[in-house]
Amino acid sequence: MKIDLADELIEKELLRKSIHFLSLGYIPLYLTFGKSITLTVVLSLTAFALILELVRRKFQVLPKLLLRDYEAKGLAAYVYFGISASIVTIIFPMEACIVAIVVGSLGDGVAGIFKSSSLQGYSSIAMLIASFSFLLFLTCCADLLLFSALIACVAGVLAERIQKIGKYYINDNLSVSIVSALTYHLSICFFYYFKLST
């Protein structure tokens, strides 16, 4: 019975995270069409997510299988992720956006799967390895500074672990991407400043 319940939790999380992983489509979209079209698509999808959320809350149209308990009562993860992807795309250059989406969708997704299994103690290291490995792979098509990407991955993992600051709950679907993009960008700025000053 215990094993069946654990298997059911993992299956549910795999289903939820397979939707999460679809966000990686952002990367070929940005690489192919650039910032303005990507931003238009992201803002449109976020607006659609907000409408879907209003419909979901009024008519209970989404299956509970796709939502955690706190999401059923509040905002669903896809809304937070859409908002964070919109903010990141508006503010940061392409490389920082790519890092943010990889850490926020793939990394956080892998961490979620590990947390729903008996390997939950390894969720942070799994998130770090999955994120950085994928970014390493992406260096063939995006000009990423790997050391900065690694720092951003670590920052994203730390952001994923922070659930509350004072009285305020922090949704990792919102925080991880923004923290990763900001860390990558500041790291790049620091390295260029250091290079120019020497």
Give the mean model confidence (pLDDT) for residues 110-135. 92
Rg (CA), the chain: 17
For residue 40, the tally of other CB atoms under 10 A from its CB is 12
78 is in which domain, residue-wise? 2-197
pTM given for the model: 0.87
Q: Does the pLDDT at position 10 exceed 80?
A: no
How do residues 136-170 score in pLDDT, each as one tens digit? Answer: 999 999 999 999 999 999 999 999 999 888 888 88
pLDDT at position 13: 66
Give the mean model confidence (pLDDT) for residues 57-61. 72
As for how many domains the chain has, the answer is: 1
Query: What average pLDDT is seen over the chain?
Result: 87
Q: Does the pLDDT at position 72 exceed 80?
A: no
**What confidence tier does 8 reach under pLDDT thresholds 50, 70, 90?**
low
SS3 call for 171: coil
d(CA 149, CA 187): 9
| Start-end of H helices in 60-145 | 69-73, 77-91, 94-101, 108-115, 123-138
The amino acid occupying position 55 is: V
pLDDT at position 53: 83
Q: Does the pLDDT at position 64 exceed 90?
A: no
Q: How far is CA 174 from CA 63, 171, 180, 190, in A?
A: 22, 6, 11, 25
Which two three-digit tokens encode residue 57? Answer: 């809350």
